[in-house]
Amino acid sequence: MELRLKREDLLAELAPMQGIVERRTTIPVLSHLLLRAAGDRLHLAATDLDVSLTSSIPAEIAGEGALAVQAKKFAEIVRAVAAERIELTLESERALRVVAGRSRFRIHGLPAADFPTLPTVEGQPRLALPLASCRRLIGKVLFAVSSEESRFQLSGALLRLKGERAEMVATDGHRLALIDVALPAAAGEDSILVPRKALQELLRLEGEGQVELRRGEHHLSFRCGAREMICRILDGAFPDYERVISRGNDKRVTVERRVLAEAVQRVALMTGERNRGVKLEFGDSEIAIAAANPDLGEASETVGCDYAGPALKIGLNPDYLAQFLSAVETDRVLLELKDENSQCVGHPARPEGAEEPDERYVCIIMPMRI
């Protein structure tokens, strides 16, 4: 393998690869990238055996070949050099020579044959969305995905294709986030559990263009330009989430999103890891937010709101509330409540008389005893 290419192009493709490779693994090759020179392009691949990412960039190829190199160190070298172009030369099946301006490196690697065979997903796209729209969908629900590996059916988000609409929902048992949007074209009917890591890496992708979704028997493919991410489809039955969404919350509170978020953040400073909760007391045109910790002290703050119902108290996890407020795009939010033992249902709040968008977004937060 012998080639020359632009440092800027290489660096742009190495960045998203870093989230895929396994840093702590008993299988050394999973901390490596596969570099393969063929035709007039350099092909790159990274995998952790559940999620893989491949890409390619234009290059002047003088000799074809392949090698797996340590991902983090190779990216550090490319980031550190100052030259506009980089030369890569395969010196042996375990060594790569990197030349950039006056800099010279010789990085040890592993034979390309040691790199895992990556899955493929063929066929026509089931769905095509602009990358920005795809990232927006994921950002609305990712915070609610469970981080407990034992609850594997909750360790991803459910993507439901419903003809001309798509719905994405995630829950960890303590909160739930759901978004339902119109699609630019009909996508058929399907339900797919997308793992958390694939969602995280899709959210980090930058650029423009369309993301094309393809489904295989056990894998999903997300293709955007020269990049393709393939992940395993999670097995298991996702909960019947529509039954969780309360329809009987008759107390409605409208409040400035940023004002509430900043007040909750300040009061939460006096909560601890074991007692991570704040109390919200809703009164006439006012929300009183308070927290008390026997080891730290206490804090309280009031914010104005639109509410004229009976007094009501509820305990909530401030992190859950903050993540919902961060995901909402409107200036005001609507909180629907029933009593201190029932869930808090949050929605975006539109200005009076404003046209309602053709989408549905809801976040449910279960109450805490404080």
- The neighbouring-strand residues paired with 107 are 96
Q: What is the pLDDT of residues 109-131, one digit of tens each?
A: 999 999 999 999 998 898 999 99
Q: What's the rounded Cα separation, in Å, for the pair 178 and 166? A: 11
Q: Report the percent of the chain where pLDDT is more than 90.
A: 80
Q: What's the rounded Cα separation, in Å, for the pair 181 and 183? A: 6
Q: Report the percent of the chain where pLDDT is more than 70.
A: 99
| Residue 318: per-residue pLDDT | 96
Tell me the CATH number of domain 245-365, given options 3.40.50.150, 3.10.150.10, 3.30.430.20, 3.40.50.11810: 3.10.150.10
Q: What's the rounded Cα separation, in Å, for the pair 284 and 303? A: 11
Q: Characterize 138-147 residue by residue with b for buried, 16 or more Cβ atoms within 10 angstroms of its Cβ, and e for exposed.
A: bebbbbbbbe
Q: What is the pLDDT of residues 275-314, one digit of tens each?
A: 789 999 999 999 999 999 888 899 999 999 999 889 999 9
Q: What is the pLDDT of residues 256-272, one digit of tens each?
A: 999 999 999 999 999 98
* pLDDT greater than 80 at residue 74: yes
Q: How many helices (H) and strands (E) does the chain have?
A: 6, 25
| Residue 369: per-residue pLDDT | 86
Nearest to 52 by CA among 83, 25, 17, 84: 17
pLDDT band at 353 (very low <50, low <70, confident <90, very high): low
* pLDDT greater than 80 at residue 357: no
Q: What CATH code would you report for 127-236?
A: 3.10.150.10
DSSP 230: E
Asked: is 2-114 a CATH 3.10.150.10 domain? The reply is: yes
| Residue 187: per-residue pLDDT | 82
| Interval 128-152 mean pLDDT | 90
Domains 2-114 and 245-365 fall in the same CATH topology: yes
Nearest to 57 by CA among 93, 88, 12: 12
* pLDDT greater than 70 at residue 17: yes
| Residue 169: per-residue pLDDT | 96
Nearest to 159 by CA among 130, 186, 181: 181
* pLDDT greater than 80 at residue 23: no
Q: Amino acid letter at 25?
A: T
| Interval 315-326 mean pLDDT | 96
pLDDT band at 81 (very low <50, low <70, confident <90, very high): very high
Q: What's the rounded Cα separation, in Å, for the pair 72 and 51? A: 18
* pLDDT greater than 90 at residue 207: no
Q: What is the pLDDT of residues 88-100, one digit of tens each?
A: 999 988 999 999 9
Domain locations along the chain: 2-114, 127-236, 245-365
| Residue 354: per-residue pLDDT | 65
- The pLDDT mean for the chain works out to 92
Question: Which residues, 6+ apart, have CB-to-CB distance to 239 below 8 Å?
Answer: 153, 154, 171
| Residue 152: per-residue pLDDT | 76
| Residue 243: per-residue pLDDT | 84
